[in-house]
Amino acid sequence: MPFEPKEPQKEIKYEETRIYTDAELNSYTDEELRNFKIKHKIPDLEELENGPWPSFVADAKQEALHRRKLANERMLIDRDVVEDMLGQLQVSFDDGETHWKHGGIVGVFGYGGGVIGRYSDLPEIYSSIAHFHTIRVNQPASKFYNSDFLRTICDLWEYRGSGLMNLHGSTGDLVLLGTITEQLEPIFFELTHVLGQDIGGSGSNLRTPSCCIGKARCEFACYDTQNLCYELTQYYQDELHRPAFPYKFKLKFDGCPNGCVASMARSDMSFIGTWRDDIRIDQDAVKAYIAGYVVPNGGAHIGRDWGKFDIQKEVINLCPARCMSLVDDELIIDNKECTRCMHCINVMPKALKPGKDNGLSILLGAKAPILEGAQMATLIVPFMKAEPPYDNIKEFIEKVWEFWIEEGKNRERLGELMQRTGLPKFLETIGLPPAPQMIKTPRENPYILWKEEDVPGGWNRNVNEYRSKHKR
Amino acid sequence: MDELKKIIVEFAETSKKTKFYFKDIEKAVQKVNPDAKMREIKKACTALINEGTMIYFSTGSSTMYGLKGRGMTEDPQ
């Protein structure tokens, strides 16, 4: 289905939005970069550059040199911000504690999130970063940009901010690191009015929803992750920008159980594509894999000779549900036992495909450690169709929110609330019957308890009558 | 709406604290007006923010509401 934006999309004239010339962007030589020293001594940070991986220190020094070369009027905040940031970080390494204060009044008008106040607690020494606020920019679904857009964002941030950015933050946003309070509104205007780009969520809000590459680039996607992510981002704008939740709330969308955005571990409400019919098998392609005509794993791991592909060893024996077998070169799958681990499909993508009756599973309550330890999500809805306008999904989301807003304490995540109240009460509140899929393994999580009204005769019984049949 | 706004401002003016979680505002409003719904209270808060009577106070991970002029309500210079 072709993408249909909710509002007419205006064409951005990138030739007018760019700020810097190529000469300004390529203003130093490799030689100059090698010999460049920032104005503070940063021995521990420079040590980080010696490791085998690219270092943010090397990137930051490159940016610092770039800012030294720019003309004064070509930047609206202090040219030394990057050097001061590195200097302060060295002090934090020396002291073993941070020198950033965070939080406060900063924001853009009418928005309760998207801007996070940052202040240095050493403003006398590192004056240029006395204010160094962070802006979160809502990434496009699946983080697909064109390069003109990225260049424009980089130019804007060099001009009105520090030039330092983090692509991408854990929630998926583009994180623009470091600007002063006076620049917040102009940046917001440029992003929204010129580039048609909203800022993301922070604070007690719905955080920027995030999705995998979905049907745009992946044959495994069981629903249109980008469309659902876009739809819910638009539909829940109020929740995204005007905080009224007990704490943060994250939605993430994985198109299949491979879980490329790791929604099961990182979001309060995780949507994972699945199917309820059978895995599609092309038996000829299975034979082609066995005979070695098709490379397994889509050609991954071919850097080394692992020997001939062995379907028994590499696929069937590795099935966690033991639901596969090979009979006369025919692959048989006992689909009702399949736990959607995706291994067989990943190894033989030409032979096996997810079923056609597609939808998604919803898991709730994953979180990183803050009040309680880290938690993985619990499966709550085994299967739900995911088709526009997604009313079934919205109805479910709102039921969960209603419960969490009502019962959740300040700064309590959904996962912690579920743990505190127990799953039976949670299921009862959101109106779902207990299902076997909610239990991780047999004889685990024995959380389904009888209630008096469900038992014929209630808790009262005639003991004598019982004893007449059952001796002590 | 005006009545809710009045209750919120009264609460924000008289409370010992100067910054409030939304939930605290909700509880305070429902004490005076038990029929007030969460959505309506949120709308009243948003209207107060848009008027400039109230401000958001964000730590980055959670957000609170405060009355402009009470407690820390300006960006420290």
- pLDDT above 90 as % of chain A: 79
- Name the least confident of A244-253, A418-427, A438-447: A438-447
**Of residues A105, A107, A410, nearest to B21 (C-beta):** A410
Alpha-carbon gap, residue A92 to A123, rounded angstroms:
14
Residue A453 pLDDT class (50, 70, 90 cuts):
confident
CATH of B2-67, one of 1.10.10.10, 3.40.50.280, 1.10.357.20, 2.40.50.140: 1.10.10.10
pLDDT of residue A82: 98
Chains A–B, number of C-beta pairs less than 8 Å apart: 88
CB contact (8 A) between residue B61 and residue A115 = no
**Of residues B42, B55, B57, nearest to A244 (C-beta):** B42
CB contact (8 A) between residue B62 and residue A117 = no
B73 touches chain A (CB under 8 A): yes
Alpha-carbon gap, residue A237 to A44, rounded angstroms:
43
Alpha-carbon gap, residue A371 to A357, rounded angstroms:
40
pLDDT of residue B73: 61
Domain with CATH 3.30.70.20 in chain A: 280-353
Cis? peptide before A246, omega within 30° of 0: no
A243 touches chain B (CB under 8 A): yes
Torsion of CA A88, B60, B11, B47, to 10 degrees: 120
Q: What are the Cα distances from residue A361, in Å, to A197, A208, A411, A415?
A: 30, 20, 27, 17
- A451-456: average pLDDT: 85
pLDDT of residue B77: 52
**Of residues B24, B60, B73, nearest to A103 (C-beta):** B60
Q: Which two tokens stand for residue A283?
A: 């038996």
CB contact (8 A) between residue B61 and residue A202 = yes
pLDDT at A152 over 60: yes
Q: Which two tokens stand for residue A445?
A: 């999580």
Residue A1 pLDDT class (50, 70, 90 cuts):
low
Residue B76: its chain A contacts at CB < 8 A?
104, 119
**Of residues B45, B61, B73, nearest to A105 (C-beta):** B73
Please give the mean pLDDT across all residues of chain A: 93
**Of residues B55, B61, B76, nearest to A119 (C-beta):** B76
Alpha-carbon gap, residue A305 to B22, rounded angstroms:
60
Q: Which residue reads 């800012």 in tokens? A: A67
Architecture of domain A210-276+358-453: 2-Layer Sandwich (3.30)
pLDDT of residue A446: 55
pLDDT of residue A260: 96
Mean pLDDT by 10-residue block, N- to C-terminus, for chain B (77 residues)? 92 92 94 92 94 89 89 63
Ordered DSSP codes for chain B:
-HHHHHHHHHHHHHSS-SEE-HHHHHHHHHHH-TT--HHHHHHHHHHHHHHTSEEEEE-SS-EEEEETTSSS-S---
Torsion of CA B18, B24, B25, B28, to 10 degrees: -110
Residue B56: its chain A contacts at CB < 8 A?
105, 107, 111-112, 203, 243
Alpha-carbon gap, residue A415 to A363, rounded angstroms:
10
Q: Which two tokens stand for residue A100?
A: 């950033």
CB contact (8 A) between residue B22 and residue A244 = yes
pLDDT of residue A139: 95
CB contact (8 A) between residue B49 and residue A244 = no
Q: Which residue reads 């809502």 in tokens? A: A138
Domain with CATH 3.30.70.2500 in chain A: 14-194
CB contact (8 A) between residue A244 and residue B21 = no
User: How many other CB atoms are there within 10 angstroms of residue A429's CB atom?
Assistant: 16
Alpha-carbon gap, residue A105 to A110, rounded angstroms:
12
pLDDT at A19 over 80: yes
- Say how many Å lie between the first and final Cα of chain B, rounded: 35
CB contact (8 A) between residue B72 and residue A104 = yes
CATH of A14-194, one of 3.30.70.2500, 3.30.565.10, 3.40.50.1000, 3.30.70.20: 3.30.70.2500
Alpha-carbon gap, residue B19 to B23, rounded angstroms:
12
- pLDDT above 70 as % of chain A: 97
Residue A86 pLDDT class (50, 70, 90 cuts):
very high
Alpha-carbon gap, residue A240 to A281, rounded angstroms:
42
Tell me the pLDDT tens digit for each residue of A287-344.
999 999 999 999 998 888 888 999 999 999 999 999 999 998 899 999 999 999 999 9
> What SS3 state is found at A385?
coil
CB contact (8 A) between residue B42 and residue A102 = no
Alpha-carbon gap, residue A397 to A404, rounded angstroms:
11
- A50-77: average pLDDT: 94
pTM for the structure as a whole: 0.92
CB contact (8 A) between residue B56 and residue A204 = no
Residue A409: its chain B contacts at CB < 8 A?
23
Architecture of domain A280-353: 2-Layer Sandwich (3.30)
CB contact (8 A) between residue A203 and residue B60 = yes
Task: Name the residue ranges covered by the structural domains of chain B.
Answer: 2-67
